[in-house]
Chains A and B, each alone.
Chain A
Amino acid sequence: MILKLAWRNIWRNKRRTWILISAVTVGIFGLFFFLTITQGAVKQAIQNIIDSGVGHIQIHKAGYLKDPEVKKFIKDPDQIIKKIKSPLMKIISKRVNLQGVIYSPTETSPVQAIGGELGKEKLLTRLDDFIIKGHFPQNETEILIGSELAETLEVGLDDKVVISSADITGELSSYAFRIGGIFKSPSKEINKYLVMIDINAASKIAGYNNMANEIIIRLKEDKALPSVLENIKQKIDSNFEVLSWGDVYPALKYQFEIFNEMMFIFGFIILLGATFGIMNVFFMSIYERMREFGVIRAIGVKPIELGKLIILEGLLIGLVSIFISSILCFILYIYLSIKGLNLSIFSRSLEIWGTGAIIYPSIDLPSIMILIFLVLLIILISVLIPARKASKIVIAEALKYV
Chain B
Amino acid sequence: MALIETFELCKYYENGTIVKAIDGINLKIEKREFTSIVGPSGSGKTTLLNLLGGIDRPTKGKVILDGIEISSLSERRLSELRLRKIGFVFQSFNLIPVLTAFENVEFVLILRGFSKKERREKVMKVLKDVGLEKLADRPLTKLSGGEQQRVAVARAIVGEPKIVLADEPTANLDSENAIALVELMKKLNEEKGITFILSTHDNRVVERTKRIIKLVDGKIIQS
- Residues of A participating in the B interface, judged by any CB pair closer than 8 Å: 1, 5, 8-9, 11-12, 291-292, 295-304, 395-396, 399, 402
* Contact status B82-A8, CB under 8 Å: no
B88 surroundings in chain A (CB, below 8 A): 295, 298-299
Which B residues lie within 8 Å of A304 (CB)?
A: 76
- Give Cα distance in the complex from A302 to B55, angstroms: 12
B interface, size bucket: 20 to 34
| Contacting residues, chain A, for B95 (C-beta < 8 A) | 295
Interface residues of B in 49-65 (CB under 8 A from A): 50, 53, 55-56
B53 / chain A contacts, CB cutoff of 8 Å: 298
Which residues on A sit within 8 Å (CB–CB) of B92?
402
Q: Are B82 and A303 in contact (CB under 8 A)?
A: no
Whether A8 lies near B99 (C-beta < 8 A) is yes
**Known: A12-B98, A291-B93. Is A1-B75 also a contact (CB below 8 A)?**
no
Q: Are B155 and A299 in contact (CB under 8 A)?
A: yes
Shortest Cβ distance from A302 into B: residue: B79
> Of the candidates A1, A299, A395, A396, which one forms a contact with B83 in the assembled complex, judged by CB atoms under 8 Å apart?
A299
**Residue of B with least CB distance to A10:** B98
Cα(A179)–Cα(B107), bound, Å: 86
Contact assessment for B50 and A301 in the assembled complex, using a CB-CB cutoff below 8 Å: no
**Could you pull out 11 A-B pairs where Cβ atoms are within 8 angstroms?**
A5-B99, A9-B98, A12-B98, A295-B96, A298-B53, A300-B79, A303-B76, A304-B76, A395-B50, A396-B50, A399-B90
Whether a CB of chain A sits under 8 angstroms from the CB of B94 is yes
Answer whether residue B126 sits at the interface, using C-beta atoms and an 8 A cutoff: no
Residues of B contacting A1 in the complex (Cβ-Cβ under 8 angstroms): 103, 106-107, 110
- State A299–B109 Cα separation when bound (angstroms): 11
Cα–Cα distance between A402 and B171 once the two chains are bound (Å):
14
Find B82's partner among A5, A291, A299, A399 (CB 8 Å cutoff): A299
- Of B79, B84, B93, chain A has the most CB atoms within 10 Å of the CB of B79
Given contacts A300-B82, A302-B79, is CB(A295)–CB(B94) below 8 Å?
A: yes
Nearest chain A CB to B56 CB, angstrom units: 4
Asked, given contacts A299-B82, A303-B75, whether A5 binds B96 with beta carbons under 8 Å apart, the answer is yes
Given contacts A301-B111, A395-B56, A396-B50, contact A296 B80 (CB under 8 A): no
Q: B108–A300 contact, CB under 8 A? A: yes
Complex interface: chain B residues within 8 A of A299 (CB):
82-83, 87-88, 107-108, 111, 155
**Across the interface, which residues of B come within 8 angstroms of A396, CB to CB?**
47, 50, 55-56
Closest to B111 in A: A300
- Chain A positions within 8 Å of B76 at CB level: 302-304
Closest residue of chain B to A401 (Cβ to Cβ) is: B93
Distance of A302 Cα from B54 Cα, bound (Å): 13
Distance A296 CA – B94 CA, assembled complex (angstroms): 9
Residues of chain B lying within 8 A (CB to CB) of residue A297: 79
B90 with A295: CB separation less than 8 A: yes
Select one of B56, B84, B96, B97 contacting A300, CB under 8 A: B84
**B-chain residues with CB within 8 Å of residue A5 when the two chains form the complex:** 96, 98-99
The residue on A at minimum CB distance from B107 is: A1
**A395-B56, A396-B55 given; 8 more Cβ-contact pairs under 8 Å:** A11-B98, A295-B94, A297-B79, A298-B88, A299-B155, A300-B82, A302-B80, A303-B76
A292 and B83 contact, CB distance less than 8 A: no
In the complex, chain B residues whose CB is within 8 Å of the CB of A296: 96
What are the residues of chain B within 8 A of A298 when measuring CB–CB? 53, 55, 82, 88, 90
Nearest-neighbour CB distance to chain A for B207, whole angstroms, equals 27
CB-defined contacts of B106 to chain A, threshold 8 Å = 1
Residues of chain B with a CB closer than 8 A to A399's CB = 50, 55, 90
Interface-centre pick from B80, B95, B111 (highest chain A CB count, 10 A): B111
Of all chain B residues, the one with the shortest Cβ separation from A2 is B110
- Also in contact, A292 and B93, with CB within 8 A (given A1-B107, A300-B82, A300-B83): yes
Which residue from chain B places its CB closest to the CB of A391 in the assembled complex?
B75
Q: Mark B91-122, 1 if CB is under 8 A from A, else 0.
A: 01111111100010011101100000000000
Chain A residues whose CB sits within 8 angstroms of the CB of B47 once the complex forms: 396
> Closest CB of chain A to B154's CB: distance in Å?
12
Are A300 and B99 closer than 8 Å at their CB atoms?
no
